[in-house]
Amino acid sequence: QMQLVESGGGSVQAGGSLRLSCAASGDTYSRSHLCMGWLRQAPGKEREGVATIYNVRGNTYYVDSVKGRFTISQDNTNNTLYLQMNSLEPEDTAMYYCAAGVGSWCPRPIDKYNYYGQGTQVTVSS
């Protein structure tokens, strides 16, 4: 089992920055190859994958709309996943979720993760 708890969301103006954190706990996290990801869902839109990182090799993936602005990283000493978001745009407004998928399949479809967090809200005003 694994538990994921996100934090760091908030309201910012366009051009600002936020750093999201996802604290992971449970036996699965410490024993497995994992694909860790950030997903988001804007009002009235489908959930989409934003970024992923494979915990063993550190390979990263970003959706085109955030490339050059967002950075996904991990700190295995404190079991935390991060998403640094710079140059935020109103279109980035969404609920952001942390997700974990067991195995090396990374990136993967958003419905193929094994564990999901409850989400943290990000609101960007123009």
pLDDT tens digits, 10-49: 999 999 999 999 999 987 766 679 999 999 999 999 999 9
Q: Using CA atoms, how far apart are residues 38 and 82, in angstroms rounded to an integer?
A: 9
Average pLDDT, the chain: 95
Q: Using CA atoms, how far apart are residues 126 and 119, in angstroms rounded to an integer?
A: 23
Per-residue tokens: 10: 């908030």
Structure confidence at residue 27 (pLDDT): 74
Structure confidence at residue 29 (pLDDT): 66
Per-residue tokens: 84: 């640094």
In this predicted model, what pLDDT tens digit does every residue of 37-94 receive, in sequence order? Answer: 999 999 999 999 999 999 988 999 999 999 999 999 999 888 999 999 999 999 999 9
Percent of the chain with pLDDT over 70: 97
Residue 1 has pLDDT above 90, yes or no: no
For tokens 């366009």, the residue is 14
DSSP count for the chain of H helices, then E strands: 1, 11
Q: Which ranges of 1-120 would DSSP assign to H, the alpha helix?
A: 27-31
Sign of CA dihedral 93, 94, 98, 101: negative
